[in-house]
Amino acid sequence: MASKLHPSNSRGRSPVSIFIVLGLCCFFYLLGVWQRSGFGKGDGYAIEMNKQQTECNNIVPSLNFESHHNFVATVDSSGPKAKVFKPCDVKYTDYTPCQEQDRAMTFPRENMIYRERHCPPQEEKLHCLIPAPVGYTSPFPWPKSRDYVYYANVPFKSLTVEKANQNWVQYQGNVFKFPGGGTMFPQGADAYIDELASVIPIADGSVRTALDTGCGVASWGAYMLKKNVVTMSFAPRDNHEAQVQFALERGVPAIIAVLGSIQLPYPSRAFDIAQCSRCLIPWTANDGMYLMEVDRVLRPGGYWILSGPPINWKTYYRTWKRTKEDLKAEQSRIEELAEQLCWEKKYEKGDIAIFRKKLNDKSCKRKSANYCQSSETDDIWYKKMETCITPYPEVKSANQVAGGELKKFPARLFDVPPRVANGNVPGVTSESYEEDNKLWKKHVKEYKRISRLLGTTRYRNIMDMNAGLGGFAAALESSKLWVMNVVPTIAPKTLGAIFERGLIGIYHDWCEGFSTYPRTYDLIHANGAFKLYQDKCEFEDILLEMDRILRPEGLVIFRDEVEVLNKVMKIASGMRWDTKMMDHEDGPLVPEKILVAVKQYWVGGAANNTSNDE
């Protein structure tokens, strides 16, 4: 009986059930339409997530990494208003805050003090954007940039006249041409380097890092790159206009600096080669203090090259307007100092003399030596240069390289640096060094997804503001680019390990201006730099300095905590930068984020002029 009643009840309720189901369907359909109309947050979020997933190439869609060489007007933002930074007056086009001529002339000329760093106090800092000159365009891509520079970018012709017979630089139409000559190698840098290579093992990877003191337009460094040797060149900002600016415009590492009264901003035992090609440095002055500073930064087994006075004085004494006796005495004194430093003369022919620093002090024949007392040889920021010899690290045998032997490049790039292996970098072990390398390979892979142009000639001059162990530069290593590894003075002293990897860098305090001209870097990487400085100086000052040294349409990659990057992004929004925040490559739950910025193209002119106190 029950089986008979069940079908009859089911048939009675069927129309009601169908009506309820249809009603619910209509309700949810209307709800969906309402959400899709723009008011529903759920679907909007889903649509955005789907959009992000389809952008698999991860080229940031709102940022353009290509060069355009034309004026792009500032786009008004509909977001929250931030402080808008106006352009500086066009007279600041080539402003170098810590090496300005007017300020320099107020300091003593003794020991080139007036050519050293003298930064403005806080109340005198500019709070405006340094303009590019009218007609500015992106530099030629490497390697063409080695030989050609647009006149509009560096509009200074004086060197074409002063050095006309030495093949430094020639003016041709709207470009400068660099034939590769120098004062001591007017026939070209290649021939000069070939002569050096007859004594120094330049080509086999034994030599990787070089220092050029008084570099001119850095043609030696430019041509050493053909041998896979990366050179840190420096010259003062003096009456030879824009030497360092020319070098960087060519795509060659360089800074504004001078051997004066303070130590060079490099660690001890950093360079495989140092050279002076008629650099006019008084090597015998102050009891050989400048040679002692070169010795400090020259690694055991490294080479020092001197071409120019007083070498070959018998030929040139009349040209140099000096007596034979004076020049002979100067060369004798240099050789006495070299012996005191444990350098051995390996070669002298024509205009060139080459000395080699011994591997350790076991075979030194010093009569007496005034050793530097400080045990911290890398604590050098604004430290006075002393007339003392930096002692070798201790060794157990006469064949051991003081400080540790380096593998040939490129093997040394990822080999554990001796300073790490010996426990001389606090907090860093061989294992943590290997982990750091893996991490930066992963990070750089993500950066290349963000911009496919990273690793190409589009970004030639790159700066890492907080370099750590140099993992970012090592992961990027390519003949198409070079990286200036900056180790902040308030960060752990890791720069020595960076040099041991075959990379170059510098110590610097980001509360001050960097020793370079405006528009000299294509890409700036800032990993944790702002968190490091958040209680030290104003973010605004650091960002304005970054804008000064960044080329128009240059790229900035920040990696930091999201709270820090939000402050950075607010300031950057008033600086003619286009910005975009991105999640960490491990996902949105990681508090560390990536902020990408592109500096807009704009140039100075009547419409952009403003007072310098804006």
Residue 59 has pLDDT above 80, yes or no: no
Q: Token pair for residue 561?
A: 């905590």
User: Which sign does the torsion angle of CA 372, 373, 379, 380 carry?
Assistant: negative
Judge contact between 99 and 92, C-beta under 8 A: no
pLDDT band at 50, cuts 50/70/90?
A: very low
Residue 215 has pLDDT above 90, yes or no: no
pLDDT at residue 365 in the model: 79
Give the number of C-alpha atoms closer than 13 A to the C-alpha of residue 273, restricted to the C-beta side.
28
pLDDT at residue 612 in the model: 40
pLDDT at residue 65 in the model: 78
pLDDT at residue 9 in the model: 41
pLDDT band at 347, cuts 50/70/90?
A: very high
Calpha distance 298→269 (Å, rounded): 5
Calpha distance 388→327 (Å, rounded): 25
**Number of neighbouring beta carbons within 10 Å of residue 135:** 13
Judge contact between 370 and 316, C-beta under 8 A: no
Residue 48 has pLDDT above 50, yes or no: no
Residue 518 has pLDDT above 90, yes or no: yes
pLDDT at residue 163 in the model: 62
Instruction: Give the global pTM.
Output: 0.87
pLDDT at residue 307 in the model: 95
Which H helix or E strand runs over 568? helix 562-572
pLDDT at residue 69 in the model: 52
Q: Which of 507, 511, 512 is nearest to 494 (CA)?
A: 507
pLDDT band at 369, cuts 50/70/90?
A: confident
pLDDT band at 33, cuts 50/70/90?
A: very low
pLDDT at residue 533 in the model: 98
Calpha distance 90→162 (Å, rounded): 27
pLDDT at residue 173 in the model: 87
Helices 324-340 + 289-297 axis angle, to 10: 40
- Looking at the chain, the whole-number percentage of residues with pLDDT higher than 70 is 84
Of 183 and 408, more confident: 408
pLDDT band at 363, cuts 50/70/90?
A: confident
Write the CB contacts of 348 (distance below 8 Å, at least 6 apart in sequence): 311, 354
Residue 176's alpha-carbon distances to 62, 226, 267, 524, 542, in angstroms, are 35, 21, 35, 26, 32
pLDDT at residue 17 in the model: 59
Judge contact between 311 and 331, C-beta under 8 A: yes
pLDDT band at 219, cuts 50/70/90?
A: very high
pLDDT at residue 62 in the model: 65
Task: Compute CA 253 distance to the chain's CA centroid, rounded to the nearest angstrom.
Answer: 8
Q: Which of 457, 510, 465, 497 is nearest to 484 (CA)?
A: 465
Query: Which tens digits make up the pLDDT trace of 233-275?
Result: 999 997 667 889 999 999 999 999 999 999 999 999 999 999 9
Terminal CA-CA length for the chain: 97
pLDDT at residue 27 in the model: 56
Calpha distance 340→389 (Å, rounded): 9
In the chain, the amino acid numbered 287 is D
Ranges of H-type helices in 344-465: 418-421, 430-450
Judge contact between 305 and 196, C-beta under 8 A: yes
Secondary structure class of 184 (helix, strand, coil): coil
What value, to the nearest 5°, has the Cα angle with vertex 591 and ends 590 and 593?
Answer: 90
What average pLDDT does the chain have? 87
Judge contact between 301 and 207, C-beta under 8 A: no
- Looking at the chain, the whole-number percentage of residues with pLDDT higher than 90 is 75
pLDDT at residue 605 in the model: 81
Judge contact between 334 and 306, C-beta under 8 A: yes
Query: Which tens digits make up the pLDDT trace of 297-345?
Result: 999 999 999 999 999 999 999 999 999 999 999 999 999 999 999 999 9
Q: What mean pLDDT comes out for the span 588-593?
A: 96
The single residue listed with the structure tokens 């004594």 is: 199
Residue 131 has pLDDT above 60, yes or no: yes
Partnered with residue 389 across adjacent β-strands are: 371
Q: Token pair for residue 91?
A: 């007279």
Residue 204 has pLDDT above 70, yes or no: yes
Q: Which of 159, 194, 190, 162 is nearest to 177 (CA)?
A: 159
Strands across the sheet with 504-508, in order? Answer: 504-508, 482-488, 461-464, 521-527, 550-561, 592-599, 577-583
pLDDT band at 82, cuts 50/70/90?
A: confident
Q: What mean pLDDT comes out for the span 425-451?
A: 97
Query: Which tens digits make up the pLDDT trace of 399-414?
Result: 999 999 999 999 999 9
Query: Which tens digits make up the pLDDT trace of 92-114?
Result: 999 999 999 999 999 999 999 99
The single residue listed with the structure tokens 């024509």 is: 350
Calpha distance 301→496 (Å, rounded): 16
Residue 595 has pLDDT above 90, yes or no: yes
The single residue listed with the structure tokens 């086009």 is: 93
What value, to the nearest 5°, has the Cα angle with vertex 236 and ends 234 and 238?
Answer: 145
